[in-house]
Amino acid sequence: MAKRKTSLTSKAPTSVVTGGAGFLGSHLVDLLFSKGHRVIVIDNLVTGSTDNIAHLAGNAAFRFIHQDVTEFLFLEGPVDYVWHFASPASPIDYLELPIQTLKVGSLGTHKALGLAKEKGARFLLTSTSEVYGDPLVHPQPETYWGNVNPIGPRGCYDEAKRFAEALTMAYRNQHQLETRIVRIFNTYGPRMRLRDGRVVPAFISQALQNKPITVFGDGSQTRSFCFCSDLLEGIYRLMMSNYSDPVNIGNPREMTMLEFAQATLKATGSRSRIVHRPLPQDDPKQRRPDITRARQLLKWEPKVHLEIGLARTIDYFRGRVSVR
């Protein structure tokens, strides 16, 4: 294994978080501080926001670098952990930014791995349940290879993450780099962008404004929603483990989109009605993680019930929409 040039002599480990001004990245930064880490965030703010990390201004253990991760990453001093969270992650983002999405998954992952290799740091890739595509196996275990359309509208994101996984494994095998891969399933919570195209902010914002809630297709397609704090606890445990193959992190509680729309209506007390629109191309029909590996290896499983997590997320959005 590569010898790690540790900063532990300064008592606090140093973590680099690419995409650390985004929804999940910024929550990871907060978690790392609670664990005693020094943190360097690298983000080009294409989909992230300094609002998510503004509360860290003036913290001597925090540094923000405004940079595209696809460019050469040079940092002075030791680094212990590299957490690669950078990437557009919503349908609107990667449909509007297909080339940037492919570049951050390929060139960005290459640069982040290079930084980890140069520093002798442990590297974690945030992959996605999208590597399973529109799955023919249900629920999805890590051993499933997926059913992905590489030239469809979602292909830029799916294939960027699949390539990133392959590159991460190549660095592990070729350079003996300590690597970890997490496959993230649908996650929600405060700091999601209001109009990022994902179902949670879409349904909540529509409900809070008493606008029609848009359900695609007949609403029978399923998703499994994990609250952000649960997800990040699982990711942290994975980074600190000795396991290098991919691990699913998500909530195995599965529900249809119609059920989720109804839950949102109930939680918000909205007068909105549900309307149906055509199902987008290649939209997965079902999505639920098999978390056996996470339970066995990490002693992890989600704890926050949907009703509680949804209430916290709605509270966050109440001050960010014009309620009618």
Which residues are registered as beta bridge partners of 18? 42, 84
Whether the per-residue pLDDT at 3 is higher than 70: the answer is no
Percent of the chain residues topping a pLDDT of 70: 96
**pLDDT band for position 322 (cuts 50, 70, 90):** low
CA dihedral 114, 120, 122, 128 (to 10 degrees): 10
- What is the CATH code for 189-223+253-288+304-318? 3.90.25.10
Residues 124-149 have pLDDT tens digits of 999 999 999 999 999 999 999 999 99
One-letter-per-residue 3-state SS of 31-92? HHHHCCCEEEEEECCCCCCHHHCHHHCCCCCEEEEECCCCCCCCCCCCCCEEEECCCCCCHH
The enclosing H or E element of 28 equals: helix 23-34
Tell me, yes or no, if 94 is annotated catalytic: no
Torsion of CA 199, 201, 202, 205, to 10 degrees: 150
Domain boundaries, the chain: 8-187+227-249, 189-223+253-288+304-318
pLDDT tens figures, 35-49: 999 999 999 999 999
Please name the residue that has the structure tokens 């989720």: 260
96 Cβ neighbours under 8 A, 6+ residues apart: none
Given a cut of 60, whether residue 190 has pLDDT beyond it is yes
> What is the second-level CATH architecture of the domain 8-187+227-249?
3-Layer(aba) Sandwich (3.40)
Q: What does the angle CA 254 – CA 229 – CA 107 come to, to the nearest 5 degrees?
A: 90
Would the pLDDT of 2 be above 50? no
Q: In 214-226, which positions are buried (b, 16+ CB within 10 angstroms) versus exposed (e)?
A: bbeeebebbbbbb
What is the amino acid identity at position 226?
C
- The answer to whether the 8-187+227-249 and 189-223+253-288+304-318 domains have the same CATH topology is no
Catalytic hit among 81, 94, 132, 157: 157
- Tens-digit pLDDT profile for residues 67-120: 999 999 999 999 999 999 999 988 889 889 999 999 999 999 999 999 999 999
**pLDDT for residue 90:** 87
C-alpha radius of gyration, the chain, whole number: 19
- Which amino acid makes up residue 257? M
Does the pTM surpass 0.85? The reply is yes
Kindly indicate the confidence band of residue 267, based on its pLDDT and cuts at 50, 70 and 90: very high
